């Protein structure tokens, strides 16, 4: 049944006529996004969802850019602001905060090292703060520079996988170029004619001379790969990139047994001394960086980062699955991904610039609710996707929502207080799973909220807690409004006021317990758990 659904989805993908010319390079990124999305929807007579109100927009934007929900004061200020440029100013203000680079580094780290690697995340945050392009970060992660602390940490991408070169080959191909090439290891890809064993072993050749040498990745000046075809023929692997381009190498270094013995001893001494080995004059890893970024071969690199950032912001990629970027699986909007890729490499692979244009588009600010008869398939991007919060976003949301809202109202202290509160709850992120495409709230998460004493402390009636402030309000309506605004970043509906007020009235003899239960219900609800 699942295969049938997938086939139907593939057949429904809009048939696009690839334009001869893209929009001019000086088109704003947000205008280009809306142009191509609107144009494609017109071909299928697809109607877009309505634009969201200010309450939803500030919450969505802050979660995506700085990884937390807004405070009541922030929401009220944004809604009351009549400046027609307030959305642009909000985005620019958020992107100027250190939390923006921290959240982006965290998300990139979850892509590159799903098990989490603090050194790599620290490098990514430092690189983003220093305005490094994605091409430079890629070079640091693949080749490294042990003379500098941060590029040294970047090598954790390779270090995590160096003892399994097949894994390193496929991870590099999938995560930096959008191509899962593992199916071509034992035979030519059965469904994609472009992926052959020569491609897999060509990509593997960029890493086959590299190895772990203590705390460092070292590389020899020799070492070749041979592989067997399905017919049993033995072939020498060439240094081949995914595009089919081949790098011609100098004559390989040949060492006799005595020279190899000395080389081994030298590497062992460097390991003991905790020093990096000098790179060979011809580094295969360095060649991968050069060929992946050159003009005729950079398409995979530039389109992959566009697709992954598009997926991060919109919840669904222009190419899905994310690691199947090949001619047999075309993008839903080829002109759009071409335009964004061109814009990205001509602007120094500036990821923040790419994200800014996406979140300022009308496509981004569409409602996740769709009022038509049938919601269009995700690849039309006719409505916003509902996205589960990452562990760090959810931890921050719980921290902000649980606090007495008056704690954030001092304009001079609010920024530092918010940062301190969020940082103090970073450990909570370890309690939640990194969401995937098939995300469901886990049993462990549900049990956590029912039994964890630290969480119970968050919902108790106390002066520094939301529940404590609610208990001091004189009317049920005021209580409900304050609770909904603190947790959901919006006004309460008439139905919510009526239902929660009735709950309180029925428990007037144990009002504090009832208030704690209301806070518990709001904080464990799907509305807080998702970015919508």
Q: For 339-407, where are the E strands, in sequence order?
A: 387-388
Looking at the structure, do residues 453 and 481 belong to the same domain, yes or no? yes
pLDDT digits (tens, 9 = 90+) for 492-527: 999 999 999 999 999 999 999 999 999 999 999 999
According to DSSP, residue 332 is labeled S
Confidence bin at 261 (pLDDT 50/70/90): very high
Instruction: Decide if 53 is inside a domain.
Output: no
Domains: count for the chain: 3
User: Which residues, 6 or more positions from 436, have their beta carbon under 8 angstroms from its beta carbon?
Assistant: none
Instruction: Decide if 34 is inside a domain.
Output: no
User: Which residues, 6 or more positions from 37, have their beta carbon under 8 angstroms from its beta carbon?
Assistant: 333, 336, 361, 363, 381
Looking at the structure, do residues 128 and 238 belong to the same domain, yes or no? no
- Which range, of 346-360, 414-428, 476-490, averages the lowest pLDDT? 414-428
pLDDT digits (tens, 9 = 90+) for 189-234: 776 777 889 999 999 999 999 999 998 999 999 999 999 888 888 9
pLDDT the model gives residue 9: 40
Looking at the structure, do residues 113 and 237 belong to the same domain, yes or no? no
Instruction: Decide if 219 is inside a domain.
Output: yes
User: Rounded distance, CA 342 to CA 22, Å?
Assistant: 10
Looking at the structure, do residues 149 and 264 belong to the same domain, yes or no? no
Looking at the structure, do residues 255 and 273 belong to the same domain, yes or no? yes
Instruction: Decide if 20 is inside a domain.
Output: no
70 near 99, Cβ under 8 Å? no
Instruction: Decide if 16 is inside a domain.
Output: no
Residue count (the chain): 532
369 near 398, Cβ under 8 Å? no
User: Which residues, 6 or more positions from 234, have their beta carbon under 8 angstroms from its beta carbon?
Assistant: 226, 227, 228
According to DSSP, residue 46 is labeled P
Looking at the structure, do residues 238 and 132 belong to the same domain, yes or no? no
User: Rounded distance, CA 131 to CA 347, Å?
Assistant: 12
What average pLDDT does this structure show over 405-427?
A: 92
Looking at the structure, do residues 155 and 166 belong to the same domain, yes or no? no
User: Rounded distance, CA 440 to CA 79, Å?
Assistant: 33
Looking at the structure, do residues 114 and 204 belong to the same domain, yes or no? no
What are phi and psi for residue 239, nearest 5 degrees?
-80, 85
User: Which residues, 6 or more positions from 399, have their beta carbon under 8 angstroms from its beta carbon?
Assistant: 68, 421, 422, 424, 425, 428
pLDDT digits (tens, 9 = 90+) for 103-157: 999 999 999 986 667 889 999 999 999 999 999 999 999 998 888 877 788 999 9
User: Rounded distance, CA 377 to CA 371, Å?
Assistant: 14
Structure tokens at 376: 């269009």
298 near 292, Cβ under 8 Å? yes
Instruction: Decide if 36 is inside a domain.
Output: no
Instruction: Decide if 113 is inside a domain.
Output: yes
The Cα-based distances of 99 to 64, 104, 127, 260 in angstroms read 11, 8, 14, 50
User: Which residues, 6 or more positions from 142, have their beta carbon under 8 angstroms from its beta carbon?
Assistant: 157, 158, 172, 285, 288, 289
Instruction: Decide if 339 is inside a domain.
Output: no
- Identify the residue with better confidence: 281 or 188: 281
Place of tokens 């034992």: 186
83: exposed, middle or buried (C-beta count within 10 Å: 0-12, 13-18, 19+)? exposed
Looking at the structure, do residues 241 and 188 belong to the same domain, yes or no? yes
Average pLDDT, the chain: 92
Q: 0.85 cut: is pTM over it? A: yes
pLDDT the model gives residue 209: 96
Q: Considering 141, 161, 181, which residue would you say is the last residue of a domain?
A: 161
- β-partners of residue 403 are 465
What average pLDDT does this structure show over 404-414?
A: 91
pLDDT the model gives residue 345: 97
pLDDT the model gives residue 50: 97
pLDDT digits (tens, 9 = 90+) for 11-62: 344 434 444 589 999 999 999 999 999 999 999 999 999 999 999 999 999 9
Place of tokens 């693949």: 142
Structure tokens at 491: 């006004």
Residue 179 CB coordination number (10 Å): 24
Q: Considering 143, 161, 179, which residue would you say is the last residue of a domain?
A: 161
> Can you give the three-state secondary structure of 225-274, one letter per residue?
CEEECCCCCEEECCCECCCCCECCCCCCCCCCHHHHHHHHHHHHHHHHHC
According to DSSP, residue 433 is labeled P
Q: Considering 285, 306, 338, which residue would you say is the last residue of a domain?
A: 285
Looking at the structure, do residues 523 and 411 belong to the same domain, yes or no? yes
Looking at the structure, do residues 143 and 183 belong to the same domain, yes or no? no
Looking at the structure, do residues 487 and 428 belong to the same domain, yes or no? yes
405 near 70, Cβ under 8 Å? no
User: Rounded distance, CA 404 to CA 386, Å?
Assistant: 28
64 near 102, Cβ under 8 Å? no
- Which range marks the domain in which residue 406 is found? 391-531
């Amino acid at each position: 049944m699942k295969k049938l659904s997938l086939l139907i989805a593939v057949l429904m993908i809009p048939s696009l006529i690839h334009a001869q010319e893209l929009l001019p390079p000086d088109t704003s990124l947000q205008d280009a996004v809306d142009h191509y999305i609107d144009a494609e929807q017109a071909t299928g007579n697809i109607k877009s969802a309505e634009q969201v109100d200010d309450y939803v927009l500030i919450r969505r934007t802050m979660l995506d850019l700085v990884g937390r929900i807004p405070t009541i004061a922030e929401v009220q200020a944004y809604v009351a602001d009549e400046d027609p440029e307030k959305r642009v100013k909000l985005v620019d203000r958020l992107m100027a905060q250190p939390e923006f680079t921290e959240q982006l580094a965290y998300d990139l780290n979850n892509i590159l090292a799903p098990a989490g690697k603090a050194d790599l995340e620290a490098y990514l945050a430092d690189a983003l703060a220093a305005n490094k392009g994605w091409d430079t970060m890629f070079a640091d992660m693949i080749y490294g520079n042990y003379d500098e602390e941060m590029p040294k940490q970047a090598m954790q991408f390779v270090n995590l996988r160096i003892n399994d070169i097949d894994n390193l080959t496929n991870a590099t191909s999938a995560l930096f170029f959008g191509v899962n090439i593992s199916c071509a290891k034992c035979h030519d890809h059965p469904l994609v004619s472009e992926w052959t064993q020569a491609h897999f072993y060509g990509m593997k050749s960029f890493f086959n001379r590299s190895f772990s040498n203590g705390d460092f990745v070292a590389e020899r000046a020799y070492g070749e790969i041979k592989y067997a075809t399905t017919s049993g023929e033995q072939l020498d692997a060439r240094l081949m990139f995914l595009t089919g381009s081949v790098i011609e190498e100098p004559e390989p270094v040949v060492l006799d047994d005595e020279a190899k013995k000395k080389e081994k001893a030298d590497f062992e001494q460097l390991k003991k001394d905790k020093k990096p080995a000098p790179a060979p004059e011809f580094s295969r890893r360095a060649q991968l960086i050069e060929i992946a970024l050159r003009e005729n071969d950079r398409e995979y690199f530039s389109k992959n980062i566009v697709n992954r950032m598009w997926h991060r912001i919109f919840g669904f990629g222009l190419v899905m699955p994310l690691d199947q970027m090949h001619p047999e699986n075309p993008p839903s909007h080829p002109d759009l991904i071409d335009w964004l890729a061109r814009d990205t490499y001509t602007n120094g692979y500036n990821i923040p610039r790419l994200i800014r244009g996406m979140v300022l588009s009308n496509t981004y600010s569409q409602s996740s609710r769709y009022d038509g008869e049938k919601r269009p398939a995700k690849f039309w991007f006719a409505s916003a996707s509902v996205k589960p919060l990452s562990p760090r976003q959810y931890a921050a949301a719980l921290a902000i929502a649980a606090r007495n809202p008056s704690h954030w109202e001092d304009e001079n202290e609010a920024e530092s207080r918010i940062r301190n509160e969020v940082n103090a709850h970073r450990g909570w992120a370890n309690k939640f799973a990194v969401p995937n495409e098939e995300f469901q709230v886990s049993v462990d998460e549900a049990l956590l909220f029912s039994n964890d004493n630290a969480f119970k402390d968050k919902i108790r009636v106390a002066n520094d807690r939301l529940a404590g402030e609610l208990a001091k309000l004189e009317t049920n309506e005021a209580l409900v409004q304050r609770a909904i605004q603190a947790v959901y970043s919006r006004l309460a509906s008439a139905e919510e006021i009526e239902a929660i007020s009735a709950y309180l009235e029925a428990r007037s003899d144990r009002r504090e317990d009832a208030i704690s239960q209301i806070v518990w219900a709001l904080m464990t609800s799907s509305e807080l758990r998702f970015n919508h």
